Amino acid sequence: MTRNTWYSFLGVFLVLLAWVVVTYGKIIDPLFLPSPGDVLRAASQEIREGILFSDIGVSFYRILMGFLISTALALPIGVMMGTSKAWQSFWEPLVGLVRYMPAVAFVPLSILWFGTTDGQKFFILFLGVFFQEVIMIADNCKTVNRSLVEVGMTLGFSRLEIVREIILKAAMPGIMDTFRTTWGWAWTYLVVAELVAASEGLGFRIMQAQRYLETDRIILGILVIGILGLVTDLLFKLLYTRLFPWKESERIKG
């Protein structure tokens, strides 16, 4: 293991140690912060009840679909905004307006429009991810070295070829970083998406536990979301390393 890996383990260990000390030392009431053992027992109980892995599957499906829908629309719009002044002028006021609106404020409307189906959850996740993603992808395209575009023009590339063969490919490492960042945001909007009109999922289980002051289940849900988010983030990092090894080398040297 590298030194940085040991530092990572040390950070996690210190947090766990502090949790153990304040809970088993009775410094904090278990109602406000349950012990690691309480959380593990809650996990064991939910597994026996058959709801933990079911909730994980449902929530992951909602996150994945919301993210894919957002990305499928944000990628072409973001690229157009980053490569065309006309498209930027058309989209920027709309995107700039809606991206500052809190997604949670749309929950009542989303229920009216989509009912209690998964479509309502996809919509909330879409609002939380799409508009930020568009802006970031446009910025990724704007940072492409102008000299690369000039080379394409010199070679007689059409505008579409310049966008497809030069700008998009040069911006792809940054766009992949954008995907990784917005995927993390999608996880943070999960509880909002499952706040109401849900009968399963990690967010729903957290809100249900709040009603009955089951703090151990609240902490369990939060930890599971965090662990899933971390695992998928590491997968994004691995994919980035495989797709763009030269960029990873530049980061290490930097």
Per-residue pLDDT tens digits of the chain, which is 254 residues long:
677 778 778 888 898 999 999 999 989 888 899 999 999 999 999 999 999 999 999 999 999 999 999 999 999 999 999 998 899 999 988 888 888 888 888 888 888 898 888 899 999 999 999 999 999 999 999 988 888 888 888 888 888 888 888 899 899 999 999 999 999 889 888 888 887 777 889 989 998 998 888 999 999 999 999 999 889 999 998 998 888 887 655 555 55
> Which pLDDT score is estimated for 48?
95
* Cα–Cα dist 196/208, whole Å: 10
* Cα–Cα dist 125/122, whole Å: 5
> Which pLDDT score is estimated for 216?
94
C-alpha closest to that of 186 among 244, 137, 122: 122
* Cα–Cα dist 68/60, whole Å: 12
* Cα–Cα dist 174/153, whole Å: 23
| 247 phi, psi to nearest 5 deg | -70, -35
Domains and CATH numbers, the chain: 37-241 (1.10.3720.10)
In sequence order, what are the residues at sequence separation of 6 or more whose Cβ sits closer than 8 angstroms to the Cβ of residue 3? none
